[in-house]
Structure 1
Amino acid sequence: MGKPTGFIDYTRKPLPERDPKERVKDWDDYTLRHQEQELQQQGARCMDCGVPTCHTGMMLNGMTTGCPVHHLIPEWNDLVYQGQWKEALDREHERNNFPEFTGMACPAPCEGACVLGINEPPVAIRSVELAIIERGFKEGWVKPTPPTDRTGKKVAIVGSGPAGLAAAAQLNKAGHLVTVYERHDRIGGLLTYGIPEMKLPYQVIERRVNILQAEGITFQPNTEIGKEYPLEKLHSDFDAVILCGGAAKHRDIEVDGRNLKGIHFAMDFLHTNTKSLLDSGHADGAYISAKDKDVIVIGGGDTGTDCLATSVRHRCRSLIQFDIYPKKGTERELDNPWPQWPVIHRVEYGHKEAAAVFGEDPRAYAVMTKRFIGDDQGHVAYVETVEVETVMNEAGRKIRKELPGTEKRWPAQLVLLAIGFSGPETEFLTEANVQLDNRSNVKAEYGSYRTNIDGLFAAGDMRRGQSLIVWAINEGREAARECDKYLMGETSLP
């Protein structure tokens, strides 16, 4: 490394943020940017590890550790420290087609596996990653590079999320004619309509899509495979098809009062908000509004946090987030050693914003919803809960033990269910005889991505279940490699 003592000389500086009280007044990016010298110092903190683990990308104890796309992190950290930004961009793009997406919206499992993180704050890898790609766009280094030769083979990609876009980008590089089908009106899948504008601005997605289009990829929005275009016909019209439709089947909650009005899936709330914002700046009113309402978000993950941030910007009256788990500590527990993902208490952007507006962190821990109570018009008015303790039963499974005397009733006119997804929407898959696994995902082995139908592949959340953007990119790239091998008998794709 260029500065062997960098991790001693400099402290970690994560990406700076705008004042929470101010940023909730708009939908602009909530983060700020480092100065170049600060970025070079952050790059210098990357140690000369004997065995770096930031790039490993594996599952440990059911969680991701390291970077699934196997980013060359120590290399581009050093290049940033040396001021060699163009070379750093080349290293970044070597393993990741879309570092701007992961730089803005990935939880950074690479940082959880950073060797420095054993006893010091880890390297601010994601901040450096984002700075490299933004410098690339600013300097004009990121530009269309269409293939010089075409194979004549046609490939269809179903879904334009990170897996679909990555697969399309790689197959197009190999010279195939690629068409990407998206059922919504804008390209990007959950990148566009599942992540709020202040966290991942649409212009960032559109900027990349425009490059892919200039490289020769065809995009077909407003086309739902299985409805407007049967999967069987798509399969016969193309030489190969890759299913990258994501895991769009919502997990629900089965309690009394679930049918009351005012209870919505989180993704419906986020989708309609972003579409209305992009279409008309919310002037059309075609979104689920939290304005002047008592809002309860059920679910403690990233999507729940996005619901908090969106509700605050709507000017909700009050805001609570239920987390079924107890509050975690600020340090790793003994059963959560490095390099596992650190299961610790985190204060994300939405929590900061809710606290700035309402005076306290919005989360209620170890709380389980028992029922919804409605008013005379059939609209939700209250949520009834009980505190729980998570224990192991005789079979070794986690169960929730209710604590007597902890029942509580919370006012709510808007309830948002942010408890994840159970798998892909399967009706069109079963109609086409695509085999599913025991979790209702498309059955295709990791590494080969082949389904039971010849020439039909699957990647991303549709294959592996709900996961991270960076896993979707990994699978999209690898599925493209296997598809190219299927089409040509060999492949040069990584």
Structure 2
Amino acid sequence: MGKLTGFLDYDRKKPKERSPRDRLRDWKEYQLGWSEETLKEQGARCMDCSTPYCHIGVEFNQSSFGCPLHNLIPEWNDLVYRGQWKDALERLLKTNNFPEWTGRVCPAPCEGSCTVALNGSAVAIKNIEKSIIDKGFEEGWIVPLPPEKRTGRQVAIIGSGPAGLAAADQLNKAGHWVTVFEREDRIGGLLMYGIPNMKLEKTSVDRRVSLLRQEGIMFQVNMEVGKDITMNELQEKYDAVIVCTGATKQRDIVMDGREAKGIHFAMDYLTLSTKHLLDSSVALPDEMSAKGKNVIVIGGGDTGADCVATAVRQGCKSIVQFGKHPKLPSKRSGNNPWPEQPNVFELSYAYKEAKAEFGADPRQYAILTQRFITDEKGRLVALETLEVEKVTDEEGNIVTREIPGTEKIWPVDMVLIAIGFEGPEREILDHMGLQCTYRGTVKAKYGQYTTNIDGVFAAGDVRRGQSLIVWAINEGREAARECDRYLMGATVLS
């Protein structure tokens, strides 16, 4: 695969990006493409490693090894190296319905499991993937392909995130009539409103949805199950239902002053900011805008980073992001071996932008918020923090210990809570009558996706909890396969 000595002859190149200062003036994607020659060289770095861990797609010890979609990575790397782009696109689409999204926002566990990464830099799999699909659209190779025959069976899919859309795409290919129900005003789930435009331009979501619509999939927006339509009505009209509503219940902070004006959930903030960007008639109230404010983001993950990038573009006065964990090492630690996803320090797009604007990385590590401070009108004016450290207790467990005397008061006008998600919203699951696990996720076995209700399946984050886009697509595809088997007695889907 690739050039036999490619991983020795060529160094890994970093993805090209627009200048942080330039891109802060707009909301367009920050990533740029490579030349075809550079892409060939990067594809050539894929070695003939016999056992390509990049696409094994398993989980162990709360970490992903390789691509859950089992993408044929060495094959399309080799085809890119040889300039056979159309064949590379064909290989890519065999396993991934939406590479234009994974190539932009997936954290790339495939690269963490790349064999070249054992003693060097991984093959630039994610950027090659993005380049293949983008070229496919540019060249006009991707066109609507509606099924030649219809089975007459009808399937309802609740939720239009990556799991729901993947299931819809697969079932439509199998010839079933598919209708996707979405409670928001646009299709895409968190792809549309949970990820900022500069990280994933919404034109790429609209383009794919338009393609799916031309292939025969029907979409109904502003339709919330339990309010606008009941589960009983869906079961009466459709032969099967797949629940892909995600894990959208945001985790909250319980402490003094939480009710202060000026504290918001990150996803509420990101959603409204994107709605306003896409439709100027949608107001962005002053209390939900970061303009002219001292902003603190609580939570050190990707959603927090997206809040940083959004707040800087809105013209915040200052920006700080709190994380409860220590700063990550520059290289893999001993307890994070290959082929696990490497937990190493990176300066992602948002932090480069904040650094360009304010002169420093906005992240503060190993810090916990203790209380929110308000004025006499209940408005947020400050918060108090305490530093912490990781220590080993008498039983050998690693625990978090507070460091006395490290209290600090931070002036702040706006706080964004980005500490993850508790799981699915329980109200809709109760309305459907679905049994849940102790974690609040829908009880449905991986690989089968059947719930306690005949003909009702569950896939994606609603079943597994908050996870990666590639796992959502994986589950959507597999749930479609099992749904097809249920409807037809056998399945044509892989």
Take 1:26 and 1:376, find their aligned partners in 2: how far apart are those partners?
38
Is contact 2:257-2:372 (8 Å) kept? yes
Q: Aligned residue for 1:259?
A: 259
Take 1:430 and 1:166, find their aligned partners in 2: how far apart are those partners?
25
SS in 1 for 2:473: helix
Is contact 1:146-1:173 (8 Å) kept? yes
Partner deviation per Cα, 1:147-177 (whole Å, 9 max, x = no partner): 0100000000000000000000000000000
Take 1:131 and 1:396, find their aligned partners in 2: how far apart are those partners?
47
Q: Aligned residue for 2:284?
A: 285
Is contact 2:273-2:284 (8 Å) kept? no
Report deviation, 1:321: 0.4
Q: Aligned residue for 1:297?
A: 297
Q: Aligned residue for 1:152?
A: 152
Q: Aligned residue for 1:310?
A: 310
Report deviation, 1:22: 1.1
Q: Aligned residue for 1:9?
A: 9
Take 1:434 and 1:329, find their aligned partners in 2: how far apart are those partners?
43
Take 1:243 and 1:414, find their aligned partners in 2: how far apart are those partners?
35
Q: Aligned residue for 1:91?
A: 91
SS in 1 for 2:241: strand
Take 1:454 and 1:331, find their aligned partners in 2: how far apart are those partners?
49
Is contact 1:386-1:403 (8 Å) kept? yes
Q: Aligned residue for 1:402?
A: 402
Note closer, same or farther for the CA distance 1:182–1:393 as it changes in structure 2 (3 Å cut).
Answer: farther
Is contact 2:65-2:340 (8 Å) kept? yes
Q: Aligned residue for 1:200?
A: 200
What RMSD over aligned residues (CA atoms) do the two structures have, in Å? Answer: 1.3
Report deviation, 1:125: 0.4
Take 1:261 and 1:400, find their aligned partners in 2: how far apart are those partners?
30
Take 1:63 and 1:191, find their aligned partners in 2: how far apart are those partners?
23
Amino acid at match of 1:285: L
Q: How does 1:147-296 map to 2 (within 5 A)?
A: 147-280=147-280, 284-286=283-285, 288-296=288-296
Partner deviation per Cα, 1:297-356 (whole Å, 9 max, x = no partner): 011111001000000001101110001000111011111110011111111100110111
Take 2:241 and 2:282, find their aligned partners in 1: how far apart are those partners?
39
Take 1:408 and 1:371, find their aligned partners in 2: how far apart are those partners?
11
Take 1:108 and 1:397, find their aligned partners in 2: how far apart are those partners?
30
Note closer, same or farther for the CA distance 1:397–1:489 as it changes in structure 2 (3 Å cut).
Answer: farther
Take 1:33 and 1:382, find their aligned partners in 2: how far apart are those partners?
43
Q: Aligned residue for 1:459?
A: 459
Report deviation, 1:231: 1.7
Take 1:254 and 1:398, find their aligned partners in 2: how far apart are those partners?
24
Is contact 1:157-1:241 (8 Å) kept? yes
Runs of 4+ in 1 over 3 A off after TM superposition: 282-287, 391-399
Give yes or no for the alignment of 1:378 onto 2:411: no
Note closer, same or farther for the CA distance 1:283–1:158 as it changes in structure 2 (3 Å cut).
Answer: closer
Amino acid at match of 1:420: G
Amino acid at match of 2:24: V
Partner deviation per Cα, 1:446-486 (whole Å, 9 max, x = no partner): 00000010000000000000000110000000000000000
Take 2:13 and 2:235, find their aligned partners in 1: how far apart are those partners?
49
* TM-score of the two chains, using structure 2 as the length reference: 0.98
Note closer, same or farther for the CA distance 1:393–1:184 as it changes in structure 2 (3 Å cut).
Answer: farther
Take 2:112 and 2:82, find their aligned partners in 1: how far apart are those partners?
25
Is contact 1:272-1:286 (8 Å) kept? no
Q: Aligned residue for 1:81?
A: 81
Q: Aligned residue for 1:438?
A: 438
Report deviation, 1:392: 5.3
Structure 2, gaps ≥5 residues long = none
Take 2:10 and 2:131, find their aligned partners in 1: how far apart are those partners?
18
Report deviation, 1:234: 1.2
Report deviation, 1:285: 3.2
SS in 2 for 1:54: helix
Q: How does 1:419-438 map to 2 (within 5 A)?
A: 419-438=419-438
Take 1:103 and 1:431, find their aligned partners in 2: how far apart are those partners?
36
Take 1:392 and 1:248, find their aligned partners in 2: how far apart are those partners?
34
Q: How many residues align?
A: 493
Note closer, same or farther for the CA distance 1:10–1:246 as it changes in structure 2 (3 Å cut).
Answer: same
Report deviation, 1:383: 1.3
Report deviation, 1:64: 1.2
Take 1:38 and 1:369, find their aligned partners in 2: how far apart are those partners?
46
Is contact 1:231-1:428 (8 Å) kept? no
Is contact 1:61-1:340 (8 Å) kept? no
SS in 1 for 2:27: coil
* TM-score of the two chains, using structure 1 as the length reference: 0.98
Take 1:484 and 1:164, find their aligned partners in 2: how far apart are those partners?
15
SS in 2 for 1:90: helix
Take 1:128 and 1:303, find their aligned partners in 2: how far apart are those partners?
25
Report deviation, 1:2: 4.0
Note closer, same or farther for the CA distance 1:71–1:17 as it changes in structure 2 (3 Å cut).
Answer: same
Give yes or no for the alignment of 1:361 onto 2:361: yes
Q: Aligned residue for 2:45?
A: 45
When structure 1 is superposed on structure 2, of 387-396 and 117-126 the one drifting more is 387-396
Take 1:215 and 1:327, find their aligned partners in 2: how far apart are those partners?
47
> Alignment identity in percent?
59
Amino acid at match of 2:220: Q
Amino acid at match of 2:154: K
Report deviation, 1:393: 5.3
Note closer, same or farther for the CA distance 1:49–1:262 as it changes in structure 2 (3 Å cut).
Answer: same
Take 1:14 and 1:167, find their aligned partners in 2: how far apart are those partners?
33
Note closer, same or farther for the CA distance 1:335–1:190 as it changes in structure 2 (3 Å cut).
Answer: same
Take 2:398 and 2:183, find their aligned partners in 1: how far apart are those partners?
38
Take 1:200 and 1:101, find their aligned partners in 2: how far apart are those partners?
7
Note closer, same or farther for the CA distance 1:365–1:174 as it changes in structure 2 (3 Å cut).
Answer: same
Take 1:60 and 1:435, find their aligned partners in 2: how far apart are those partners?
26
